[in-house]
């Protein structure tokens, strides 16, 4: 007989009755009835009920074994007593009558219960992650992660992509986030940067002639966290030679569609996935209609521009008119069928808008063809008719207004669109679609935009993107009017991927960076390796990078990324289990030629608490 087990804890059924088996696993739960003791033995494959009764001398010993101890038992498989089958377990028709039992590793008193998901605080879960990971939900999530990555990898291989590894310690890459730096012992005062993405390497692989690259690549960005953002994360990084934007989409759409379709019932509810080809929305349209470049298309509400209505001479709403005079716009969101809602429905939305720094969220209700509500009196019949036409308003609808300078108005309207949708759902008017993964491409990003604070022209996205119209566009057009072959892939309001057709011509790169204020010297210093490579025959190429973690998070229907990583840092980017980051010792600092210049601590308690 095997030292530890003949079967797993999820394996036994009626076909094994009368066999003597050996099982190893964790004591999941015990139920002690005095004369009979049940033990649920658990491993990653399932639970098996093991029994011992007072006829056995083992009962007193086993009864003392604490939950989460690791044990090995030998026993005979038998059918459960009539009427005591457990349909919830795959092994629910049988039990194992224990004849021998061995303690492998005793568990201390637990900091929290493993067998039940009692909402234990995240800091505890992360500190004792190995216990947290034993729980059913985490076991499932991590398995999903594994399966998703495997599925994606196989789909990429099917399309003849080669998988690469690229350096972790390298030079700064062109993404705009802060780098994590690693000091060099051999080169005093110099640092490696951890990759924000393998951007330059994958482009260089194209220039090396590999044609189709992919990697499940670790990426590092030193910016504050969010529920869907971590310091380190993984991307499905892809690059292809001699392709157009259409070909990149056609390559990745089936990978995403099939992967999502494959795992779309993970939560127990089968969800639909947008059929390919995914709809394409230009950046400009997205900002107008959804107020965001990552629109949640499950929300059917759309934004329209109604500036012209409020510009009319017969409309006397100066609160808007004055903003329009300063170059502002008015955006409207139709909320169908909310005309009957109580005043509190509108007041709540209004105070939400104020909490976001807007003066308010004006609205008009359409009743019997006419406008109603606090600002309706400023909008006469003819103007109301124009408004109805612009926003497709019908009796019983309300329309909400946002008025501000364009960029702010678009963003605010985007948030209001979401908030109104939620408010409608809350009142029982089902608005947001459920049970679906709604994909789209956002295309035609501007190559440049104006930095809000410095008013300088800067790259709006990836600086290596190909400007539409090439060098000619750079030479002749207003930089702010130039679009790039740059695209994002969006699902349910999450930006899943970002990519571009790259610029492969050194003269375009020089010009493009010049417009953004980078001199040739700076360009050579920062990206000289790649610029040089372009001078020796670079193929046209393009690619994309998907956030693997976000994909898994959405499929698992989890609210944050920490639920789909085995080991992960908290919101402050600390590893509570392993104690990272930690202070280097004096010897390490000396070897690295570093001296610390620390800010004064506000109080002592923080560090002391951490040490405790």
Partner RNA sequence: GCGGGAGUAGUUCAGCUGGUUAGAACGCAGCCCUGUCACGGCUGAGGUCGCGGGUUCAAAUCCCGUCUCUCGCGCCA
Site string for RNA, 533-572 (x = CB under 7 A): --------------x-----------xx-x-------xxx
Q: How many residues does the chain have?
A: 612
> Which residues inside 427-456 make contact with RNA, applying CB under 7 A?
445, 452-453
Sign of the CA dihedral 447, 453, 455, 458? negative
- Site map 290..329 versus RNA, x via CB under 7 A: ---x------------------------------------
The edge-to-edge listing of strands for the beta sheet with 398-405 is 303-305, 328-335, 398-405, 362-367, 370-372
Q: How far is the CB of 129 from RNA (least distance, A)?
A: 13
- By CB under 7 A, what part of segment 180-209 binds RNA? 196
Q: Which two tokens stand for residue 354?
A: 């104020």
**Which residue in this structure is represented by tokens 């303690």?**
103
48 binds RNA (CB under 7 A): no
Nearer to RNA by Cβ, of 86 and 258: the residue is 86
The distance of closest approach from Cβ of residue 350 to RNA in the complex, given in angstroms and rounded to an integer, is 17
- In angstroms, the CA 544 to CA 514 distance is 25
Per DSSP, the chain holds a count of helices (H) and strands (E) of 18, 24
Q: x/- site string to RNA, residues 510 to 539, per CB under 7 A?
A: ------------------------------
Where does this chain touch RNA (CB under 7 A) — which range of 119-127, 274-282, 308-316, 319-327? Answer: 119-127
Task: Write out 49-93 in H/E/C secondary structure.
Answer: EEEEECCCCHHHHHHCCCCCCEEEEEEEEEECCCCCCCCCCCCCC
Site string for RNA, 87-106 (x = CB under 7 A): -xx--x--x-----------
Nearest residue to 363 via CA among 335, 344, 390, 385: 335
229 binds RNA (CB under 7 A): yes
DSSP reduced 3-state for 427: coil
Query: In angstroms, what is the minimal distance from the CB of 487 to RNA?
Result: 9
Work out the number of other CB atoms within 10 angstroms of the CB of residue 227: 13
Q: If binding means CB under 7 A, how many residues of this protein chain bind RNA?
A: 76
Of positions 6, 74, 124, 258, contacts RNA by CB under 7 A: 124
Q: Mark residues 12-31: x for contact with RNA by CB under 7 A, - for none.
A: -----------------x-x
Site for RNA in 457-496 (CB under 7 A): 460-462, 486, 488, 495
- With CB under 7 A as the contact rule, the residue among 367, 385, 406, 574 that binds RNA is 574
Query: What is the C-alpha to C-alpha distance for residues 138 and 131, in angstroms, rounded to an integer?
Result: 10
Q: Which stretch binds RNA (CB under 7 A): 53-61, 269-277, 339-347, 400-408?
A: 53-61
What does DSSP say about strands 280-282 and 439-443: parallel, antiparallel, or unpaired?
parallel
* Nearest-approach distance from CB 205 to RNA, in angstroms: 20
Helix (H) or strand (E) holding 200: helix 199-207
* 113 near RNA, rule: CB under 7 A: yes
| Closer residue to RNA (CB): 47 or 366 | 47
Answer yes or no whether residue 120 interacts with RNA by CB under 7 A.
yes
Q: Element (H or E) spanning 491, and its range?
A: strand 486-491
Q: What residues pair up with 551 in beta bridges, in sequence order?
A: none
Output b/e per residue, 567-576; b: 16+ Cβ within 10 A: ebbebebbbb
CB of 572 to RNA, least distance (A): 4
- The CB-of-211 to RNA minimum distance in angstroms stands at 24
- 144 phi, psi to nearest 5 deg: -60, -45
Answer for the pair 370, 452: CB distance below 8 angstroms, yes or no: no
């Amino acid at each position: 007989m095997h030292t530890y087990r003949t079967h797993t804890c999820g394996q036994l059924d009626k076909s094994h009755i009368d066999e003597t088996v050996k099982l190893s696993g964790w004591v999941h739960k015990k139920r002690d009835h005095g004369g009979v003791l049940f033990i649920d033995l658990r491993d990653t494959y399932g639970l098996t009920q093991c029994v011992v009764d007072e006829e056995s001398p083992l009962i007193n010993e086993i009864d003392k074994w604490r939950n989460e101890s690791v044990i090995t038992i030998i026993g005979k498989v038998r059918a459960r007593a009539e009427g005591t089958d457990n349909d919830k377990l795959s092994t629910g028709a049988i039990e194992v009558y224990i004849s021998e039992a061995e303690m492998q590793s005793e568990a201390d008193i637990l900091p929290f219960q493993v067998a039940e998901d009692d909402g234990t605080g995240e800091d505890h879960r992360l500190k004792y992650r190995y216990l947290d990971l034993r729980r059913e939900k985490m076991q499932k999530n991590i398995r999903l992660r594994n399966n998703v990555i495997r599925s994606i990898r196989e789909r990429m291989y099917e399309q003849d992509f080669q998988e690469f590894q690229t350096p972790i310690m390298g030079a700064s890459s062109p993404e705009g986030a802060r780098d994590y730096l690693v000091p060099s012992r051999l080169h005093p005062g110099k640092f490696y940067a951890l990759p924000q993405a393998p951007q330059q390497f994958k482009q260089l692989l194209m220039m090396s002639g590999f044609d189709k690259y992919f990697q499940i690549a670790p990426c590092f960005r030193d910016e504050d966290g969010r529920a869907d953002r971590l310091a380190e994360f993984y991307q499905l990084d892809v690059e292809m030679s001699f392709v157009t934007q259409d070909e990149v989409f056609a390559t990745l759409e089936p990978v995403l569609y099939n992967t999502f379709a494959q795992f779309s019932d993970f939560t127990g509810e089968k969800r639909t996935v947008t059929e390919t080809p995914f709809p394409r929305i230009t950046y400009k349209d997205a900002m107008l209609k959804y107020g965001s470049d990552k629109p949640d298309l499950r929300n059917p509400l759309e934004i329209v521009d109604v500036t012209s209505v409020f510009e009319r001479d017969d409309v006397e709403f100066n609160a808007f008119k004055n903003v329009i005079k300063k170059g502002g716009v008015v955006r409207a969101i139709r909320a169908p069928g909310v005309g009957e809602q109580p005043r509190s429905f509108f007041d709540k939305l209004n105070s939400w808008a104020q909490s976001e720094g807007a003066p308010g969220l004006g609205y008009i209700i359409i009743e019997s063809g006419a406008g109603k509500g606090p600002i309706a009196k400023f909008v006469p019949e003819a103007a109301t008719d124009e408004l109805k036409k612009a926003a497709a308003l019908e009796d019983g609808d309300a329309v909400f207004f946002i008025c501000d300078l364009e960029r702010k108005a678009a963003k605010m309207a985007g948030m209001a669109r979401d908030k109104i949708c939620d408010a409608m759902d809350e009142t029982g008017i089902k608005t947001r679609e459920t049970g679906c993964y709604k994909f789209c491409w956002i295309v035609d990003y501007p190559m440049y935009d104006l930095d809000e604070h410095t008013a300088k022209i800067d790259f709006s996205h990836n600086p290596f993107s190909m400007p539409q119209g090439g060098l000619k566009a750079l030479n002749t057009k207003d930089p702010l009017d130039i679009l790039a072959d740059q695209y994002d892939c969006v699902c349910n309001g999450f930006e899943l991927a970002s990519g571009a057709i790259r610029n492969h011509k050194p003269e375009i790169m020089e010009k493009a960076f010049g417009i953004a204020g980078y001199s040739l010297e700076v360009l050579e210093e920062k990206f000289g390796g790649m610029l040089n490579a372009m001078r020796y025959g670079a193929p046209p190429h393009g690619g994309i990078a998907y956030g693997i973690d976000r994909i898994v998070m959405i499929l698992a229907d989890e609210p944050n990324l920490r639920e789909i990583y085995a080991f992960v840092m908290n919101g402050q980017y600390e590893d509570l289990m392993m104690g990272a980051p930690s202070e280097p010792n004096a010897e390490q600092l000396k070897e690295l030629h570093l001296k610390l210049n620390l800010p004064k601590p506000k109080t002592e308690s923080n560090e002391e608490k951490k040490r405790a």
